[in-house]
Amino acid sequence: MSFSDFDRECMATALQLAERGLFTTDPNPRVGCVIADSGSIVGRGWHERAGGPHAEIVALRDAGRSVGGLTAYVTLEPCSHHGRTPPCVDALLEAGLARVVIASTDPNPAVDGGGIERLRAGGIEVEAGLLVDEAEALNCGFFSRMRKGRPWVRVKSAISLDGRTALPSGESKWISNAESRRDVQRWRARSSAILTGIGTVLADNPRMNARVEGPVLQPLRVVADSRWRIPPGSRILDGPEITVLAGDCSREVPAALADLGIEALPLPAAAGGVDLGELLKALAGREINEVQVEAGGRLCGALLEAGLVDEVLIYQAPVLLGEGGPGPFRLGPLESMAERTHFKLVETARFGDDLRIRLQPANRN
């Protein structure tokens, strides 16, 4: 399918608009829309939060005029079902548009091509696939939940030049610089949940919330704690947000957890902890799209060995921590170099003297 330079410009603008909902749209995808007339954009819109108007509706209102015969550019296939709001397809048909260009079809089984079919049945020319990779990357968690039945899992770690995440004593504050730590907050803010282990809670007593300027839906805080031993007064329990404790279902859940404002999530045990696949499945059931993992090498290694890691964020600082400290992934000894885990480089960025390296497992399905 052939798209013009103006088509690409319009869709790029729609993607930029969609990014404005990066911290607020959960559990919905981030979607942008523009409406164009004879080489100029006349309407712009983006979805801000679940229950609010979708991008197409905002763009139609922003145009403030008849858009009959014009073209709409939407980063995700318009919805064709009643959810929290009426179907966007109805509004586009009523507006009399001549053409709709879509970046990606919607993987939600309730839509999945249905929106395109209804638009075409209504006489609208529909083209899809423009900047599709960019559109899916923006909603990687939504696509993962719909296609795989689990959230997108991103592991974040700060390391030294010699690959350590802490000193042998456990001291780790701070390996990365302030700029890197501010960037981490933005990745937290786009995440639906932050997952850590009880070892990190006991050692570092983190808050695990997103501290950014502007509106943000705070991520769900999830602790893998197979023996239900989180201490009262842990900072991860602070604030009005729920903290979910994933523990071994064969162990009795302490009654005191409810008094601490903790939601217990009993799960089958696996390899000395909880079944991580079942944990992610349970989070998907809560409409969790993206999970950011900030934990020790044991939990991160277990996720990696189970094939449950989609992305790795490494912040490497120009420091040396010496022998004896832990690394970001605790993995069993390899018999040969052929057993190495391979990654592909997605992106690098500089934050002062720190280097952020974004990677994806080379064999990720």
Q: Which residues are catalytic?
A: 56
3-state SS string for 163-176: CCCCCCCCCCCCCC
DSSP state of 319: -
**Residue 293 near residue 195, CB atoms below 8 Å:** yes
Find out whether 126 and 102 touch, Cβ atoms under 8 Å.
Answer: yes
Residue pair 58/49 in contact by the 8 Å Cβ criterion: no
Instruction: Count other Cβ atoms within 10 Å, centred on residue 89.
Output: 25
Residue 253 burial (10 A CB sphere; 0-12, 13-18, 19+): middle
Provide the 3-class DSSP secondary structure of residue 92. Answer: helix
Question: Any alpha helices (H) in 64-131, and if so which ranges?
Answer: 88-95, 114-121
Q: What Cα–Cα distance (Å) separates residue 317 from each residue in 154, 160, 302?
A: 20, 5, 25
Task: Name residues whose C-beta falls within 8 Å of residue 220's C-beta, 6 or more positions apart in sequence.
Answer: 192, 193, 194, 241, 242, 244, 283, 286, 288
